[in-house]
A and B are shown apart, each in its own frame.
Chain A
């Protein structure tokens, strides 16, 4: 009878938190992440057959990422996606504490907020997502390549650039680490 929902419970439901975490980190907005996770979950349910014997976690996270990217594009944040090394953009974002579209944080709470979270938030989407997938979701380089649809070499170089960025942010005098 309800075969589909039973497969959903086995294959996708265990990864809803991981999907939500990724969506939150990419979109930096709670409401948008809620919507993205719902869209991704429904899409995953609809295309469950195409999964076959593959590992459902990276497969589902790939769907979440695609949904988020579409959302970002739709909201004219191409500059963020392209990960421009534009010093101006990054400086602006950093001095604001975060990008403006994060309603969860206001500048007066800057000091209370987790410094690592702030640093991660200030990365461009391209760099941020590989860090989240590697450090928070524990995916292998190959799995990250699958989720982000870029070659493994690109994954590795993005991770290296992200680590350098994070290190310089966290050691910067503004944070007083």
Chain B
């Protein structure tokens, strides 16, 4: 039939799909996420192998619930296994592998939104989040709440990128989630932006810290986020 052959099949763009995944993850984070202090009190859960996809089946043999007796923040941080997974295969994004450091960060951001954890510490208070990093990282990342500019701090996590532990600050902006990767640096770099698989990826360095921001916002909003950070940083 003519329609079948010639009518346009519209496709949802990468950015729309990224936004949808973010919205779903935010929904998940609101209902499912336990604050750090309660994590060690959760009962052990046996591994369940019900899913038809590869993910649960792959992870199941490694699933190890955290015993309640184990003290200390470090282990209370996550129930999921710290397994360095390859590039996150998301049905919604292209199967084209992501390249470069920005590609790694987009994969990490997407993984955090999907499999999680999105946040290891949930707090809008920088006086809670900043000290939380002590003892977990060999550097102290700056932590700023950008709520006055419309980007409230949601919390933070620590991710492994290229074998290094990296501090990640997470901000909300309407239906969007922003991951800000902060790590030590030695040279200054001017702000640059690029689009990677539907996500805006910005990068700059002030000479002592290097920043990468990943978000499913448009370039205008991403620029606003960075300006807000610069302004707030100057006031610190």
Contacts and interface: CB of A to CB of B under 8 A. Distances in A.
A24 interface: yes
B87 interface: no
Interface stretch (B109-117, B165-173, B199-207): B109-117
A53 to B, nearest CB: 11
A2 B115 contact: yes
Contacts of A1: 32, 78-80, 115-117
Interface string A1-32: 11111111110011011011100110000000
Contacts of B52: 10
B38 to A, nearest CB: 14
A46 interface: yes
B16 A37 contact: yes
A41 B175 CA distance: 13
Interface magnitude class on chain A:
35 or more
B92 A13 contact: yes
A102 interface: no
Contacts of A136: 3-4, 7, 9
B115 A25 contact: no
Interface string B30-43: 01100000000000
Interface stretch (A88-96, A113-121, A141-149): A113-121
A100 to B, nearest CB: 20
B23 A4 contact: no
Contacts of A6: 51, 53, 55-56, 114-115
| Contact-residue bracket for chain B | 35 or more
Q: Interface of chain A, helix or strand or loop or mixed?
A: helix
B6 A2 contact: no
Nearest to A6: B55
A75 B175 CA distance: 24
A99 interface: no
Contact of A38 (B16, B31, B32, B55): B16
A166 interface: yes
Contacts of B130: none
Contact of B10 (A3, A20, A135, A163): A20
A2 B12 CA distance: 24
B17 A16 contact: yes
A73 B183 CA distance: 51
Given A136-B4, A136-B9, A42 B51 contact: no
Interface string A105-146: 000000000111100100000000001100110000000000
Contact of A5 (B6, B51, B116): B116
Nearest to B1: A135
A105 to B, nearest CB: 11
A170 interface: yes
B192 interface: no
Contacts of A166: 2-3
A33 B10 contact: yes
B66 to A, nearest CB: 12
Given A9-B114, A116-B3, 10 more contacts: A2-B28, A4-B27, A4-B28, A5-B28, A34-B12, A38-B16, A38-B20, A41-B20, A116-B7, A170-B2
Interface of B: 1-4, 6-12, 16-17, 19-21, 23-25, 27-28, 31-32, 51-53, 55-56, 78-80, 90-92, 113-118, 175
25 contacts: A1-B80, A4-B27, A5-B21, A5-B24, A6-B55, A9-B53, A10-B53, A13-B17, A14-B91, A16-B12, A16-B17, A17-B9, A20-B11, A21-B10, A37-B12, A37-B16, A38-B20, A42-B24, A45-B27, A114-B8, A115-B6, A120-B7, A136-B9, A163-B1, A166-B3
